[in-house]
């Protein structure tokens, strides 16, 4: 899996074609990595999100993904995906796999050669890290995504260790 890298750091600094945001369904910003991405991208990103069609306020259901421009970020695109809230959105494993898969498919269909993922659902959405890492690595390792340079941006030493273990096993 030479196309998958693990980096410890802030995803907003990633020099890639697309940065994946662990968004919420409303796509109007929030805490965690979502807040960091919106702060770094500036108001253009929120304006682009607001333009996405909404149904009862939902712009992106759990497991799906949407693509917008990236405002002031170095990336060309932000791909907004919504992971499952652990213990709430079921089946969680399938929804998490779909969030990764739909993000990767949008990157490919928009001609991206590189993208950066955060640890989707591993913050306030409460997904157990080891299981989440296994799902993330298994979807990203599919042969159809081999042409993409995929980076995981992780914040803590612990998360880096968990992801490295998933990648090596
Ligand atoms: P979710 O709601 O999907 O759980 P969170 O944003 O709460 O998303 O957390 C997802 C992960 O992103 C967590 O592991 C959190 O520590 C991490 N994170 C937060 N800010 C950043 C950032 N700027 N770059 C990379 N990872 C981040």
| Domains, the chain | 4-168 (3.40.220.10)
pTM beyond 0.85: the answer is: yes
Q: Residue 47 CB: number of other CB atoms within 10 A?
A: 12
- Which residues pair with residue 79 across a beta bridge? 20, 67
How far does the centroid of ligand 1 lie from the alpha carbon of residue 120, in Å? Answer: 7
* Cα-based distances in Å from 111 to 23, 31, 48, 49: 22, 29, 20, 21
pLDDT in tens, 93-125: 999 999 999 999 999 999 999 999 999 999 999
- CB-based burial, 130-163: b 16+ in 10 Å, e otherwise: ebbbbbbbebbeeeebeebebbbbbbeeebbebb
The total number of residues written for the chain in this structure: 169
pLDDT per residue as tens, the chain (169 positions): 689 999 999 999 999 999 999 999 999 999 999 999 999 999 999 999 999 999 999 999 999 999 999 999 999 999 999 999 999 999 999 999 999 999 999 999 999 999 999 999 999 999 999 999 999 999 999 999 999 999 999 999 999 999 999 999 8
Q: Which of 8, 39, 122 maximizes ligand 1 atoms within 8 Å of its Cβ, making it the mutation to test the pocket?
A: 122
Distance 157 CA to ligand 1 centre (A): 14
Taking the CA atoms of 144, 125, 36 and 13 in sequence, report the sign of the dihedral they define: negative
Residue 127 in contact with residue 106, Cβ under 8 Å?
A: no
91 alpha carbon – ligand 1 mean position (Å): 21
Q: Cβ neighbours of residue 110 under 8 Å, at least 6 residues apart?
A: 18, 67, 76, 77
Q: Which listed residue (17, 34, 157, 158) is catalytic?
A: 34
Q: Which residues have a Cβ under 8 Å from the Cβ of 102 and sit 6 or more positions away?
A: 63, 64, 65, 81
């Amino acid at each position: 899996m030479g196309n998958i890298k693990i980096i410890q750091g802030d995803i907003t600094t990633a020099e890639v074609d697309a940065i994946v945001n662990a968004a919420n369904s409303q796509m109007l910003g929030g805490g965690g990595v979502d807040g960091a991405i919106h702060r770094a991208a500036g108001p253009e990103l929120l304006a682009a999100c607001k333009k996405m069609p909404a149904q009862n306020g939902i712009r992106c259901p759990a497991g799906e993904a949407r693509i917008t421009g990236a405002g002031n970020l170095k990336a060309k695109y932000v791909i907004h995906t919504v992971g499952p809230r652990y213990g709430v959105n079921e089946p969680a494993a399938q929804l998490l796999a779909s969030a990764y898969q739909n993000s990767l498919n949008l990157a490919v269909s928009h001609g991206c050669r590189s993208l950066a993922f955060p640890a989707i659902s591993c913050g306030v959405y409460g997904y157990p890290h080891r299981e989440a890492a296994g799902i993330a690595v298994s979807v990203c390792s599919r042969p159809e995504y081999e042409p993409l340079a995929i980076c995981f941006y992780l914040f803590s030493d612990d998360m880096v260790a968990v992801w490295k273990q998933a990648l090596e096993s």
